[in-house]
Chains A and B, each alone.
Chain A
Amino acid sequence: KNEVEQSPQNLTAQEGEFITINCSYSVGISALHWLQQHPGGGIVSLFMLSSGKKKHGRLIATINIQEKHSSLHITASHPRDSAVYICAVGSGGTSYGKLTFGQGTILTVHP
């Protein structure tokens, strides 16, 4: 079992739909990151959170530390949101930078 599991692996939506991507992890973490990766490889950090909820524009990220679960929500989805969304957890300790990644969720939003 992977330390970080995402679901679904693939997600197709129509423009305007509300989207949820889930992430579960099995290790103790210092922070959880949501990342966006477009074709070609570039990765953009969307959120870093260790508790509660964060919102940026149409994106909302929540985390439940007790349940070891996080969700990324996209409201009013748009075709430009089409990308791979990756959940990654930071373990802290002596390797502050070590991130363990989920396999990613491929999101396609159709007009």
Chain B
Amino acid sequence: ETGVTQSPTHLIKTRGQQVTLRCSSQSGHNTVSWYQQALGQGPQFIFQYYREEENGRGNFPPRFSGLQFPNYSSELNVNALELDDSALYLCASSPRGASRTYEQYFGPGTRLTVT
């Protein structure tokens, strides 16, 4: 069973540029959530995708957008990068079923640095 993978591992971008981060969910998982973790802080929920539809969003501006593909992998896109976007971006997949509670399986994260 393959775990959650993310690419790239590290990324350096310039303010104003656009970035795409990728996440491959664990086999059998149809739900992906994205989180932003600034240095020294706990992660913050960006949004969640379930069966290719956005299913909940945190307090992030529209320049943060995402996609989920038929194989349940996902992308996080950030436009017009700002210095404060520098953070570790984590994705987590889960097997959403009938139960309201389920474990999330985290990827290793992508470290984004905006200069």
Contacts and interface: CB of A to CB of B under 8 A. Distances in A.
A103 B79 CA distance: 27
A97 B109 contact: no
Interchain residue pairs A-B with the least CB separation, the first 7: A95-B56, A101-B42, A31-B101, A43-B106, A97-B48, A41-B109, A97-B33
Nearest to B40: A103
Interface residues of B, number: 31
Interface string B20-46: 000000000001010101001111110
A41 B90 contact: yes
Given A50-B101, A100-B45, A95 B108 contact: no
Interface in A60-87: 86
Interface string A76-111: 000000000010101010111111111110000000
A76 B66 CA distance: 43
Contacts of A45: 103-106
B91 to A, nearest CB: 10
Interface residues of A, number: 28
B101 A95 contact: no
A27 interface: no
Nearest to B48: A97
Given A95-B56, A96-B31, A103 B101 contact: no
A42 B58 CA distance: 22
Contacts of B50: 96-97
Contacts of B102: 48, 96
Q: Which of B41, B44, B101 has the most CB of A within 10 A?
A: B101
Interface string B86-115: 001010101010001111111111010000
A30 interface: yes
B14 interface: no
